[in-house]
Structures are given as C-alpha cells and as structure tokens.
Amino acid sequence: MKLLFEYPDHGKTLSILPELDTPMAEIPDVIRRKSPLRLPNISENELSRHFAELESQTFGVCDGFYPLGSCTMKYNPKINDEMASLKGFTDIHPLQPVSTVQGALEMMYTLERSLCEITGMDDITLQPAAGAHGEFTGILLIKAYHEKNGDTDRTEIIVPVSAHGTNPATAAMAGYKAVNAPVRDDGCVDLEALKKLVGPKTAGLMLTNPNTVGLFEKDILEISKLIHDAGGLLYYDGANLNPVMGIVRPGDMGFDVVHLNLHKTFSTPHGGGGPGSGPVGCKKLLSEFLPVPRIVKKDGSYDFDFDKEYSIGKVRSFYGNFLVNVKALSYILTLGAKGIREAAEGSVINANYMRKSLDDLYDMAYPDICMHEFVMTLERQKKEKGVSAMDFAKTMLDYRMHPPTMYFPLCVKEALMVEPTETESKQSLDEAIAVYRKIYEDVMADPEYAAKAPHKTPITRVDEVGAARNPRLRFEF
Amino acid sequence: MGSYIPNSKQETEEMLRFLGLNHVDELFESIPESVKIKGLLNLPEGKSEMELRCVMGGMAEKNTVFKTVLRGAGVYNHYIPSIVKSIVSKERFITAYTPYQPEISQGILQAIFEYQSIICELTHMDASNASVYDGASAAAEAVAMCTDRRKKVLVSETAKPDSIAAIKTYSKAAGRQVVMIPSKNGVSDIDALSENLQDAACFYVEMPNFNGIIEDYEAYSSLLHEAGAKHIMGVNPISLALLKTPDELGADIAVGEGQPLGMGMNFGGPHVGFMAAKSDMVRKLPGRIVGETTDRNGKRAYVLTLQAREQHIRREKASSNICSNQALCALTAVAYVGAMGSLGLTELARQCYYKAHYAARELEKAGLEMLYPEKPFFHEFITKAPRDTDKLMEALAQEGILGGLPMEEGILWCFTEMVSKQEIGKLCAIVRKVG
C-alpha cells in the first residue's frame, strides 16, 4: 500500500475553503515558519481510495469472530454511533454557558447515576479517557484519602501477579510501590500468601474480578475484610465487568473504588485503539477527592461544581470523552435492567459452551466453569511438537478470525485467552469451534507449516526485532 | 429492550444442557450468594431504537448550537471536510481493536504511521508516538519524560488552565515539584524563569499561550539548555502551518491538542493528544509507537514497536501506564491533513490569522480595547472587558453568536475560517450597541 506521502503532489488544494473575505495583515518574519511543510496535496478521489485500501486491511468486529480475551469485542450497535453524531452533541463548545448545555449535562448525569447503580458506587466521574486513565484516577483517590487521614506510611499497592500490566504501572505512576501477590493453582489470589503481604504499609489492593483467567475470585469477601481490617482500600479493575453486570456489584463485594471500560462492557467501539472512556466510581468516603468539575442537579437543572477543596484536580481537559459517553448511555438505555443481566449471562454461557466444546483437544489452564473467558495453554504442544501459542494464533488468521489474546496472563504458559462475548450466536460459535478443532489437527500434523502461518493474509509475520533495533517511526523524504 | 443476543431461548437451553446445567444461575455459583443482586438492577426497562432516538435526541435538542462561535480557549470551531467524515465512519476503523495482529491490521498501523509522520512534519520533530488522550494529558506525560533525575518542573502560568491542572495532578502523584512561572504582560516572566532554573528538569509553555499570544520561545530555549533543562512546548497544530516550529524554536518535546485537525468541538472530547520529541528522547515517549519493518518476504510492513517501554512488558517499571491511543482521532487527523494538504493547511492558518487580526482592529474601532496591543497573536486575543460582559454575551447569544470567553482580565476572542467578514460586522454592531 502506498503511503499518503507517496502520491504525486498535484500542487493544488481541494476546494474546501472559500476565498479570504477580510483584508490581510502583516505576519512578522520573526514568528514565521522557515522549514518547508512537506504534506502531500492529493485529489479527493485518491484520498477516498487510499482509505478504502487501508480499511480493507483492517479487521473489525464486522469481519468475523473476534474473541480477544479481556477486550470484550462485542457487537457495536450503530444507533449509538448515530446518537453520538447528533449536532446537539458534536457542535457544542465545552466552555459554553451551562444554561445552553443542559442536555449535555443531563446526559452525563444520567450516565453517572446509571453506572453508580450498576457498580453499587455512590459517586462517579466520567473524566478519565480510558481504562488505564481510570486506574490512575482511582488510585489517586485512595492516595488522597490516606493523605487526608495523615496515614502517609501506606506506601504499597498490592497487585496479583495475574493482573494486567497497567495495574502495577499505575501504582508506580501514583508514587506507590507495587507489591505482587501470588496466585494459587486454581487461578485465584492466594489468600494465605496475601495475609502475609497485608499490613500497615498497605494503601490498597487492585483486583480484577472476574480475574484475568476468567474466574470469579470466590474469596472476595475474605479478601475485602483482610484489606479493610488493615486500613487499606479495595480497587476494582472493571476490565471484566461484562459477565457480572446485573448479577453482582463491586460495591456490594466490598470494593471502594472502581473503574469501568465503557469501550468494552458498554459496547462503545474500540476505534482501533481508542477513544475509549474509563469512568471511576467510588463509595462516599472517597467522593470528596473526585476530579473537578462535578455535575450537580438542583431544582431540576444541572450545573458544574468546581469548588472541591480535596479534589485530586484534573486528569485531562474538560469532562472526558463526552461522545463516547453518549454511546454508552445509549447502550444502557437500550438494554435496560433486564438486557444488562441477559448480556452478562449470555457472555458466560457462550464462553462455557466454547470451553467445553474444546476441552477434549485443548488443555484448559483451569478446568472449572469460567465466567466470560477461558484460558487455554499450549505448553504440552510446545513440548511435544515445538508449536507455540503464536503458531496457533497465526494459523487462525488464515480462517479470517481474530486470534484470542496471546501470552496473557503471564502466570499461564503458552496462553491463549478466549472471550467470545454474548453477541455471537450458537451457530457462529459452532463454526469457530469447528475451525479451532481443524486448526488443532493441522498444526499438530504440520508444525512447520504452522510456524510460517499466516499464509493467506496481505503480509506474513513481521520482523519485530528489526523494527525495534532500527526504529523507522516516520516517513523519510 | 434488547441485549443484542442472537440466540433464541431454545438455543440457550440447548447450550445449557450441553454444559450439563438446568439453569443459567448454576454458572454463577462461585459468587457468594449473600452479595448477589436479588432481582434486577434499579434501571428503566430497555428501549427500542425508535424510543432511544427520542430520548437521546431530546437531550441533544436541549443544547444550543451556536451559528457563530467566537470562543476557543483550547477547543476550536473549524470546518470539517465531508471526505473526513466519510473516512472516519468506516465500520472497520470504528470497531477494530488495538492492532496487535499486524498481518490483519496493516490498515490501522499504516494510518498511525502516517499520523506520526504528519505530526513530525508539523512540529519538525524527529519522532511522534501514536497519540495519547488529549492535549492536557500529553503535557503531563511530556513532563514525566524529563524527570528521571531532576524533580523540579517549571510551568508557565500562561498555559491553558487544564494543561496546568493535569501537569499538577500527574506531578504530585509521582512526587515532582511544580513551580509556576508567573505571567508578566501576557507572557511568561523570563526573569522568574531564570531565577528558577537551578535543578529544573523542564519548562512547559504554550504557543499560542492561553492569552492567544506568541511568546519569545527562543529566549527560553537558550536559558533552559544552558541550565541542562528540557524545553516542552504545547502547540496548536494548525498554527504550525504558519508559525515557527517547536524545532526551530529550540524545543525538545512538542505536544498539543489535535482537535483542530478535523475533530468537532464535541463538548470537549474525544479529541487527541499528540507528542513528538527530538531523537535523543524517543525511547522516553510513552504509549504506542508504530514502526516500519518488513515481513518474511521482505514486503514493507508496519508494527507496534519499542514495546520494551510499555506497561505490558515493564509493568511497574514502565514509563507510563497508558496502553491505548486515540486511534480513531489520529486517523481523523490523517484524513483531515490529507484533505487539506500543505496548501490548504497553510491557507487555513493564514485565514485564521488574517480574520483574527481584522476582527481585533474592528473591535477596537467598536470601542473594545486590546489587553496586550503590542504582542503578536495567531487567532485569539484578549480585549479588556466592556461595561457589562454578561449583557454583551446575552445580546450576542440572541443573534446566534457564542461570544469570546469571559475571563478575569477581559474577554478571550477566537476567529477561525468559519467566521465571515459579515459576521465580524454584526459582532461589532452589537458591541457598539451594548458595550
């Protein structure tokens, strides 16, 4: 594929701007750009074809099965995109007088209240732009709480070894030491080991529940008591909320603060990596620390409140990824209380159906009933035939299926993590299962062919080492 | 109403039977009974698509869409070419995940590579990342790139309030000391900057600044580099088609809000934060970066690279916890720059400059005094407050005009290509009448 920069420069521009209708003014030489601006001037037709070609080499949820574990690649309803493109939402300035954006504030307020109900939290901020951004915000709430209490010896955040990499990275960014908690053979946090880690230095514990191997942490109430008795707080990483929404709430399990990934659980699309939205909810004891502004409702109208003495401040500009939040509210309103529960149940049924349909061939890292995702381990196949999880994953590409998440969590060797989501039909699961079974036979029969997979994609496996060793990060003229 | 679940009741029951279960509840036995929700959440019943359209449409209609927008302050009303909207509404771009599998993701990867190239070209920096959340978090992340050893961060009071706020939040978290460099006559006080240079890690300043002014950045660069500190500039990408680049001005890192590159005002988001740096700081850039490489057959290919900096490899030792970019917004910027080209962008920047300067003169004639009449500006400037700012804003609103941003010192006005000479005339007539 040609790069934009490789089209011939026609030396003329599209007819987008009208002629200047005001007089010109002097532009002092001292402020003027000296370097040439080397951006291509191409035709609209070329531009249209260029992006059509780029799109053809992009795999969307519309292209097929997308069981990327922990990413919840469910169907993204089109009505939500359309609602987010209404002029009354896109063409409003964030610094308009609040009297002229009452609908926008109502949208945000309604979403906040809905998410509080779903998570069992008292208050919520929509400001964080993504999950990791939410983690950072949430941990800062915990930090602000301890600081206000003069409890400054709490310097550690405990994170299970199975956690997403963002958890320890977040703890470090917030100035904490990340302490790793071991995981038992059954995939859950080792409660006995945890007891030894918890103490006067513990600021909090970050936990994903269901956890990253797709299991519900059944000791959650003991864990919660342990952390709280030691004076720490409990942080809920909402990456895996999908299978339990409407069934159990983080707030009722004992969590004090939670972030959500609206681009996962609430179906706002991922956009190839973003924009997402990572609201942070908390119990009353942390509300005063939430970022400003807060939305308040008074006498039927809405306002922003910037005057919060103990707020952690702002983590980004304005009020978050507003249009993404419009999509999330559209989704929640469509599902309603019943649909939310159904979606959770559907995700768990689908994951278990697929797991049980494959467990005679593929080794499951944990044999129990799973939540929304399950982890397969190809360790045995690697030992026996030298084929890796990567080889299996790359072979799937030839069947126009997106592979599962590879090599995560780190506590499972040669891991493939499968999350079908609730929006796949039984028939589409049956087709995927048939492909997974065929791939198993093919890969085991011809490991060499698998090691070179994929064979039918526009490019083959790429030289990642070369890319990192000799970085070429921009078009060179 | 719906949950987008395709399966019928019968199919679901069949699947449960296959699992050896009688009821779906049996799948949730690992959850302690005492905390399970009894019944349903306290949320309304689901709505049909037609009902949803009414509810959301009703909220949208309660917002005032101004015909003329003279307010900027970080978010700018520019024209979005039709082709841009068409490109970014392609379903694959909207629904794909982060391009972890390069063999089926060359489209997104190449688009990000093009985005990085465009950001480098605009800023004249050596390398760009794949983008971060927004301009304010980009500023905060840029500061983090400079504070491995030194912990003192200098920030100009003339920067946007949200940039300053985000830098403060991030810096406090990591134990860095933020020292504000006060504003003097609308620009950073260079004497205060000199006095605070010792042990300073970096200085953050914006072009144009929050007063709309173009400061003397070259003077800051020499001072900073002499003291071994880094110069971070927050820049408006459109202005770079006309104004000296951060590279020409001696910056080490250039960041900014990419919203003017084809994104709507969107009540503040989603937008996109760009980050670019000189070659010696490339490996300190946070977040995703796409690199060019080859596949096994030697064919050109793109891939996420330099991942050893990132959280999924480094965990607590990562340079940032960020794991996404604003890919669709970055793609919007590519489509926008593709549609405008260097010629269109330059013409756009000139029109913004000319219109703002024309409007400033006309507003002066109408009786509003410039707060900083001697300072160069791009497309924003402050006038001293009229007799009654609220009354003026109200009178403008009645004519479908969102006036400039009322501030302590006066009103911050913004003029882009969207404002016609006729509208400037209308504005001035109202100012004469009310102001």
What's the complex ipTM?
A: 0.98
Instruction: Establish how many alpha carbons lie within 13 A of residue B7's alpha carbon, considering only the half-sphere containing its beta carbon.
Output: 26
Stretch B165-170: mean pLDDT: 98
Q: Is A141 on the interface with B (CB under 8 A)?
A: no
Chain B residues within 8 A of A114 when measuring between CB atoms: 43
Interface of A with B in 368-387 (CB under 8 A): 368-369
Residue B2 in this model has a pLDDT that exceeds 80 = no
Co-location of B315 and B359 in the same domain: no
In this model, does residue B435 exceed pLDDT 80?
A: no
Q: pLDDT, tens digit, for every residue of B244-256? A: 999 999 999 999 9
- The beta-carbon neighbor of B1 closest among A40, A170, A336 is A336
Taking only the tens place, the pLDDT of each residue in A48-102 is 999 999 999 999 999 999 999 999 999 999 999 999 999 999 999 999 999 999 9
| B192 shares its domain with B309 | yes
Beta carbons of B340 and A48 less than 8 Å apart: no
Chain A contact set for B96 (CB, 8 A): 58-61, 270-272
Contacts of residue B92 in chain A, CB cutoff 8 Å? 55, 58-60, 62-63
Of A373, A407, A402, nearest to A390 by C-alpha is: A407
Pair B274, B393 in one domain: no
If asked whether residues B387 and B286 sit together in one domain, one would say no
Q: What is the pLDDT of residue B106?
A: 98
Q: Say if residue A17 is in the same domain as residue A106.
A: no
Q: Which chain B residues have a beta carbon less than 8 Å from that of A393?
A: 101
pLDDT class for B1, splitting at 50, 70, 90?
low
Asked if B258 is an interface residue toward chain A (Cβ–Cβ < 8 A), one would say no
Find the domain containing B13 and state its range. Answer: 9-52
* Domain identity same for A23 and A103: no
Q: Are residues B166 and B299 located together in one domain of the fold?
A: yes
Number of A:B CB contacts under 8 A?
663
CB contact under 8 A, B265 and A58: no
A148 with A181, same domain?
yes
| A31 and A142 co-located in one domain | no
Q: What is the pLDDT of residue A160?
A: 95
* Mean pLDDT, 10 residues at a time, chain A of 477 residues: 96 95 97 97 97 98 96 97 98 98 98 98 98 97 98 97 93 96 95 97 98 96 98 98 98 98 97 96 98 96 97 98 98 97 97 98 95 97 96 96 94 96 98 98 96 97 95 96
pLDDT in tens, A252-293: 999 999 999 999 999 999 999 999 999 999 999 999 999 999
Of A14, A313, A346, the CB nearest to B165: A313
Number of domains chain A contains: 2
State the Cα–Cα distance between residues A50 and B247, nearest whole angstrom: 30
What pLDDT score was predicted for residue B272? 98
Residue A208: per-residue pLDDT = 97
Q: What is the reported pLDDT for A418?
A: 98
The pLDDT of residue B317 is 81
Sign of CA dihedral A252, A257, A263, A266: positive
Q: Kindly determine whether residue A336 and residue B291, on different chains, have CB atoms separated by under 8 Å.
A: no
pLDDT value for B188: 98
Q: Which two tokens stand for residue A57?
A: 């080499």
CA-based nearest residue to B60, from A88, A26, A441: A88
What mean pLDDT comes out for the span B216-232?
Answer: 98
Is A448 part of a structural domain of the chain? no
* Co-location of B162 and B220 in the same domain: yes
pLDDT at A299: 94
Q: What is the mean pLDDT of residues B138-162?
A: 97
Is residue B184 over pLDDT 70?
yes
What average pLDDT does this structure show over B47-72? 98
Are A19 and A115 within one domain? Answer: no
Chain A residues closer than 8 Å to B16 by CB? 349
Is residue B4 situated within a structural domain? no
Residue among A31, A322, A346 whose CB faces B268 most closely: A322
- The reply to whether omega before A275 is within 30° of 0 (cis) is yes
CB contact under 8 A, B305 and A89: no
From residue B206, how far is each of A2, A404, B75, B351 by CA, in Å?
35, 43, 14, 21
Instruction: Provide the domain count of chain B.
Output: 3
Nearest CA in chain A to B322: A132
pLDDT reported for residue B316: 81
Q: For residue B3, is it within any domain?
A: no
Point out the domain boundary residue: B276, B303, B334. B334
Q: Are residues A84 and A49 in the same domain?
A: no
Q: Say which residues have a Cβ less than 8 Å from residue A445's Cβ, sequence separation at least 6.
A: none
How far is residue A364 from each of residues A360, A414, A415, A433, measured CA to CA in Å?
9, 11, 9, 15
Residues A16 and A117 reside in one and the same domain: no
Look at A31 and B244 and tell me if their CB atoms are within 8 Å: yes
Query: How far, in Å, CA of A386 to CA of A376, rounded?
Result: 16
> Which two structure tokens, joined as six digits, stand for A106?
């109502």
Residue with tokens 């994104």: B263
Identify whether residues A25 and A163 lie together within a single domain: no
Q: Does B177 touch chain A (CB under 8 A)?
A: no
DSSP assigned state of A304: E
Asked if the bond preceding B286 is cis, omega within 30° of 0, the reply is no
- Each residue of B302-340: pLDDT tens digit? 999 998 877 787 888 887 899 889 999 999 999 999 999
**At B255, is the secondary structure helix, strand, or coil?**
strand
Residue B312: the pLDDT is 80
Is the model's pLDDT at B3 over the cut of 80?
no
Question: B235 - beta bridge partners?
Answer: B207
Q: Is B390 exposed, middle or buried (0-12, 13-18, 19+ CB in 10 A)?
A: exposed
Mark yes or no for CB contact B354/A22 under 8 Å: yes
Of A13, A165, A323, the CB nearest to B266: A323
Q: What is the mean pLDDT of residues B61-89?
A: 98
* Chain A interface test: which of B75, B95, B314, B422 (most A C-beta within 10 Å): B95
Q: What's the confidence (pLDDT) of residue B30?
A: 96
Q: Which residues from A are below 8 Å from B148, CB to CB?
A: none
A234 touches chain B (CB under 8 A): no
- CB–CB of B153/B147 below 8 Å? yes
Answer yes or no: do B321 and B347 share one domain: no
* DSSP one-letter string for A329-367: HHHHHHHHHHHHHHHHHHHHHHHHHHHHHHTTTSEESS-
Compute the residue count for chain A: 477
Residue in A closest to B51 by C-alpha: A334
Range of the domain at A25: 4-58
Shared domain for B15 and B74, answered yes or no, is no
CB pair distance less than 8 Å for B214 and A79: no
Segment holding A207, helix H or strand E: strand A202-208
> What pLDDT shows up at residue A313?
97
> Strand B200-207 relative to strand B230-235: parallel, antiparallel, unpaired?
parallel
Q: What is the pLDDT of residue B311?
A: 79
Q: What confidence score (pLDDT) does residue B399 get? A: 97
Nearest chain A CA: its distance from B240 CA (Å): 7
Alpha helices in A313-446, H assignment, sequence order: 322-358, 379-385, 389-397, 426-445
Q: Do A262 and A328 touch, CB atoms closer than 8 A?
A: yes
Six token digits for residue A267: 């179906």
Name residues 46-65 of chain A within 8 A of B (Cβ). 47-48, 50-51, 53-63
- Determine, for residues A340 and B91 on separate chains, whether the beta-carbon distance falls below 8 Å: no
